[in-house]
């Protein structure tokens, strides 16, 4: 089924740019908006609707740019469904964020109960994040882990947990890519540990 985009997508992109335009990705210094565009692209490439692509563009807005107030702005602009998708992808509503490990454990529990629509966006997000981690491991080696609050052990645990959780979703291509990336992440972590 083809996904056709309307002016709503452009409005969402403008909102994402306003909220994240000055942010950069950890370590790579790539504009953060590139991550949001990639996640939206992966969602559409895997059968997502325009609303799901809009939620993909805004999936970090609540967490990183305003909390529940931002969620209500999204609800007013794009409706309940998009707001619910964004909410389902959110692991923190306050700044500073809660401690890393309890937040990630809570998010994994939240994802277990989430709809397949939410899981599609979260899975696309995690695939792109895992790609970036693997790329950075090839580029900067063990120093890659320094940028993560969970460091090496926590980050690898989290991605293994995510890959296992996503095994029961209908998005086989993304599932397989995440599983392969997590395997490569683990292999590289082991090699660097033993070198």
Stretch 100-123: mean pLDDT, rounded? 96
Q: How far is CA 162 from the centre of its chain?
A: 11
Summarize the confidence of residues 105-110 as an average pLDDT.
96
pLDDT beyond 60 at 1: no
Q: What is the pLDDT of residues 10-44, one digit of tens each?
A: 999 999 999 987 877 776 688 999 999 999 999 99
Measured CA to CA, the distance from residue 185 to residue 155 in angstroms comes to 10
* Beta partners for residue 31, in sequence order: 24
Query: Angle 95-99-104 (CA atoms, 0-180°, nearest 5)?
Result: 105
Q: Is the pLDDT of residue 152 over 70?
A: yes
Each residue's pLDDT tens digit, 159-178: 999 999 999 899 999 999 99
Closest by Cα among 8, 34, 9, 10 to 21: 34
Gap between the Cα atoms of 75 and 72, Å rounded: 5
Taking a C-beta distance cutoff of 8 angstroms, is the pair 40, 89 a contact?
no
Going by C-alpha positions, the residue among 107, 114, 132 that lies closest to residue 39 is: 132
114-118 long-range contacts, CB within 8 A, separation 24+: 114/88, 115/88, 116/169, 116/170, 116/171, 117/52, 117/85, 117/88, 118/84, 118/85, 118/88, 118/89
Q: What is the pLDDT of residue 134?
A: 96
pLDDT at 112 over 60: yes
Average pLDDT, the chain: 93
Q: Any idea which residue has 């395997």 for tokens?
A: 183
Give residue 56's pLDDT. Answer: 98
Question: What is d(CA 75, CA 71) in angstroms, rounded to the nearest whole number?
Answer: 6
Rounded CA gap, 29 and 12, in Å? Answer: 23
User: Which of 166, 164, 157 lies closest to 185, judged by CA?
Assistant: 157
Residue range 35-86, pLDDT digits in tens = 999 999 999 999 999 999 999 999 999 998 888 999 999 999 999 999 999 9
Per the structure block, which two tokens stand in for 34? 């590139």
* CATH no. for 7-194: 1.10.3210.10
Spatial distance between the Cα atoms of 76 and 145, rounded to a whole number of angstroms: 38
Name residue 24's beta-bridge partners.
Answer: 31
Specify the pLDDT at position 97.
Answer: 78
Which residues carry out catalysis?
63-64
Residue 3 pLDDT > 70: no
What is residue 24's three-state secondary structure?
strand
> How confident is the model at residue 185, as a pLDDT?
96
């Amino acid at each position: 089924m083809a996904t056709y985009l309307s002016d709503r997508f452009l409005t969402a992109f403008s909102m994402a740019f306003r909220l994240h335009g000055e942010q950069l990705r950890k370590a790579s210094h790539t504009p953060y908006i590139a991550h949001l565009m990639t996640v939206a692209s992966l969602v559409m490439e895997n059968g997502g609707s325009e609303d799901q692509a809009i939620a993909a563009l805004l999936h970090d807005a609540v967490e990183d740019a305003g909390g529940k107030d931002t969620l209500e702005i999204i609800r007013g602009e794009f409706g309940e469904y998009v707001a619910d998708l964004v909410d389902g992808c959110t692991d923190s509503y306050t700044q500073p964020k809660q401690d890393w490990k309890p937040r990630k454990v809570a998010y994994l529990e939240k994802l277990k109960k989430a709809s397949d629509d939410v899981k599609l966006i979260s899975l696309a997000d995690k695939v792109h994040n895992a790609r970036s981690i693997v790329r950075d491991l090839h580029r900067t080696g063990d120093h890659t882990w320094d940028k993560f609050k969970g460091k090496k052990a926590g980050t690898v645990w989290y991605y293994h947990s995510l890959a296992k959780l996503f095994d029961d979703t209908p998005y086989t291509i993304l599932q397989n890519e995440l599983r392969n990336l997590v395997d490569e992440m683990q292999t590289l972590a082991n090699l660097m540990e033993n070198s």
